[in-house]
Amino acid sequence: MKKNIKLYIVIPCYNEEEVLPETTKRLKEKLNKLINDNIISKSSRVMYVNDGSKDKTWDIIKDINAKEELFTGITLSRNRGHQNALVAGLLTAKNYADVVISMDADLQDDINAIDAMLEKYLQGCDIVYGVRSSRENDTFFKKASAEGFYKFMSLMGVDIVFNHADYRLTSRRVLEEFSNYHEVNLFLRGIFPLIGYKSDIVYYERASRFAGESKYPLKKMLSFAWDGISSFSVKPLRMICSLGFVILFISLIIMLYSLIQKIIGNTVDGWTFIIISIWFIGGLQMISIGIIGEYIGKIYSETKQRPRYAISENLLEQKDN
């Protein structure tokens, strides 16, 4: 079995001066152990991605890089947000690594899950998703909102792994495939399941933030959720159409009701006509918007120009070798 994997760990950092020294210390121990066990090669690295931090994060990263062989970094021209920083790191690391693991800087992702992830990779998985087994360390609100988020996403037709954030292992060929996704409205945890290949899950306990504050306040989380839905699903557009049919159906009932009222003589002149018109035209308009929505949905998926397939094995090539 192939060992000595060239592993890169990509970590986006935004104003993380408080946690970087500790994260570095723990990852150094971890990597050295994996190197001693011959699981990863000496050329493996931790790659910090400074996402336009306003504090000393980049100075600290440069300092660590000067002192520690196993640590390197890149910095973005300004703050572009976690997802963009992650892409920058993944696409840079793929040029050097066999395998890339992405994780957060704040030690919330248990670094001991790395062993299990590499094990799964050695067993033939191309993607290994880190999944939180419990959220005991999250506040009630964070837990409820985060779990609601995953449920709502799948209700809205977005295929994601439950309770998986961005702690994941990807092989180089997955990243090569990923580089063909050119969308700018990023929701990475939705893209990787689309890529395919053999994947598996590793469970880990999510710790609380080592130091500093969350860079994902509720407002950012909500806009992230909406980004996920609107970048992956045309279901909201479909719902307009369905709503149109519901309203049209209601208008039939209203029609019957108001005709009966008219026959009984319970109405003033003109009421029946107005009520029927309002409901009927309302339903018709809703359906029309829904039909336009269907076409917009098509334009939306065409403009993304996502790859249509990825070949995982080609017997022709195997014979040539």
Contacts with Mg ion by CB under 5 A lie at 104, 106, 108
Stretch that binds ligand UDP, among 149-157, 209-217, 238-246, 254-262 (CB under 6 A): 209-217
Nearer to ligand UDP, 10 or 247 (CB): 10
Question: d(Cα 272, Cα 266) in Å, to the nearest integer?
Answer: 10
Tokens of 240: 């307009």
Establish if 12 lies at the interface with ligand UDP (CB under 6 A).
Answer: yes
Q: Examine residue 192 and tell whether it contacts ligand UDP (CB under 6 A).
A: no
Q: Would you say the C-alpha torsion 216, 219, 225, 228 has a positive or negative sign? A: negative
- Looking at the Cβ atoms of 214 and 277, the one nearer to ligand UDP is 214
Contact flags string 22-61 toward ligand UDP, x per CB under 6 A? -----------------------------x----------
Distance between CA atoms of residues 321 and 316, nearest Å: 9
Cα separation, 231 vs 150, in Å, equals: 15
Query: 155: helix, coil or strand?
Result: helix
Which DSSP helix (H) or strand (E) runs through 258?
helix 235-264
Q: Which of 95, 88, 81, 107 is nearest to 212 (CA)?
A: 107
Size of the site for ligand UDP (CB under 6 A): 16
Residue (16 or 177) nearer to ligand UDP, CB: 16
Nearest-angstrom CA–CA distance, 244 and 284: 7
Q: Does 132 bind ligand UDP (CB under 6 A)?
A: no
Question: Of Mg ion, ligand UDP, none, which one sits near residue 46, judging by CB under 5 to 8 A according to partner kind?
Answer: none
Query: Does residue 110 touch ligand UDP according to CB under 6 A?
Result: no
Beta carbons of 109 and 204 less than 8 angstroms apart:
yes
**Interaction of residue 105 with ligand UDP, rule CB under 6 A:** yes
Closest alpha carbon to 7 in 112, 93, 123, 85: 93
Q: Does 13 bind ligand UDP (CB under 6 A)?
A: yes
CB of 248 to ligand UDP, least distance (A): 43
Parallel/antiparallel/unpaired status of strands 71-75 and 127-134: unpaired
Residue 83: contacted member of ligand UDP, Mg ion, none (CB under 5 to 8 Å, by partner type): none
Contacts of residue 287, Cβ cutoff 8 Å, sequence gap at least 6: 241, 244, 245, 248
Residue 9 interacting with ligand UDP (CB under 6 A): no
Site membership for ligand UDP, residue 71 (CB under 6 A): no
Alpha carbon distance 143, 201 (integer Å):
20
Q: Is 104 in the site for ligand UDP (CB under 6 A)?
A: yes
Shortest CB 176 distance to Mg ion, Å: 29
Q: Which residues bind ligand UDP (CB under 6 A)?
A: 12-14, 16, 51, 79, 81-82, 85, 104-106, 108, 214-216
